[in-house]
Amino acid sequence: MTEFDLRQQRTRDSLRSALMALVAESPFEAISITDITRRARVARKTFYAHYNDKDALLLDCVLPMLSAAAQTVTQMNADTLLAGNKPLSYSAFKHVQQNADFYRAVLNAGGSVRLITHLLDFMAQTSYEWHAPIREVAPKMTVEPMLIAHFLAGALFNTLRWWLANDCQPSPETMAYTFSQLAAPGTLDAVGLG
């Protein structure tokens, strides 16, 4: 890496750290570019050299978190519908619990619409990939698989928001089993396994 690349990386790291610290203190909608640049100790034009707006910076903060959480999931067993002896959604509940203050700040009514849209798309794509073992044994698909993935992503997203509002109670494991209880019957019926 060149000195220029290292400097660029340090600036991005500083801006990400500043936004994460600010989100812990204030609702996302109340945070300004000036707040971010002041906290990061960079010029406003430096911010715009790296990001179009604070939503782009927020996405840059969240993407690595989501990827890391997704990589913790083992392959689902099509017979038990479990991954690592827990429902697939367990990793989402665990991740959100570990970052609850952050997600409360950015998923509220004044949060980032772009982030919410990106999260839903990420969750749908991840769901589609994780449920491949079910599609391989499904005798008769009556609903397009990507539609099922989007349905599950929306249901999980709103369940996570409800759970955040209830102080992440009950436990991630209990919530994962509850979510499966709600979502699995219709999903399995749609793939011919119900």
Task: Verify that 125 and 34 share a domain, yes or no.
Answer: no
Please tell me the predicted confidence (pLDDT) of residue 1.
66
The terminus-to-terminus CA distance of the chain in angstroms comes to: 54
pTM of the model: 0.87
Q: How far apart are CA 38 and CA 55, in angstroms?
A: 17
CATH code: domain of residue 16: 1.10.10.60
Give the DSSP H/E element, type plus range, for residue 31: none
Name 178's Cβ contacts closer than 8 Å, sequence gap at least 6.
170
| Exposure of 67 in the CB half-sphere (CA atoms within 13 A) | 6
- At residue 37, the 3 state secondary structure works out as helix
Instruction: Report the pLDDT value the prediction gives residue 73, as an integer from 0 to 100.
Output: 76
pLDDT attached to residue 192: 81
Q: Phi/psi zone of residue 2: left (φ > 0), alpha (ψ -120 to 50 degrees), beta?
A: beta
Q: What phi and psi, each to the nearest 5 degrees, are found at residue 30?
A: -85, -10
92 and 43 part of one domain: no
- Residue 105: the pLDDT is 87
**29 and 88 both lie in a single domain:** no
One domain for residues 104 and 73? yes
Radius of gyration for the chain, computed over Cα atoms and rounded to the nearest angstrom: 19
What is the full per-residue pLDDT of the chain (194 aa) written as tens digits? Answer: 687 678 889 999 999 999 999 998 988 999 999 999 999 999 999 999 999 999 999 999 998 988 888 888 777 776 777 777 889 899 999 999 999 999 998 888 888 889 999 999 999 999 999 888 888 888 888 899 999 999 999 999 999 999 999 999 999 999 999 999 999 899 888 888 77
Q: Which amino acid belongs to residue 167?
A: D
Distances (CA, A) of 40 to 21, 22, 112, 163, 166: 10, 10, 21, 32, 33
Please count the structural domains in the chain: 2
| In a shared domain, residues 7 and 79 | no
Final residue in a domain of this structure, among 27, 50, 73 = 50
Kindly state whether residues 60 and 34 are assigned to the same domain.
no
DSSP labels, 55-100: HHHHHHHHHHHHHHHHHTPPPPBTTTTEETTEETTHHHHHHHHHTH
Using CA atoms, how far apart are residues 157 and 89, in angstroms rounded to an integer?
10
Handedness of CA 86, 159, 118, 128 (dihedral sign): positive
Question: Are 45 and 61 in the same domain?
Answer: no
Task: Show the domain range for 29.
Answer: 3-50
> Are residue 44 and residue 61 in the same domain, yes or no?
no
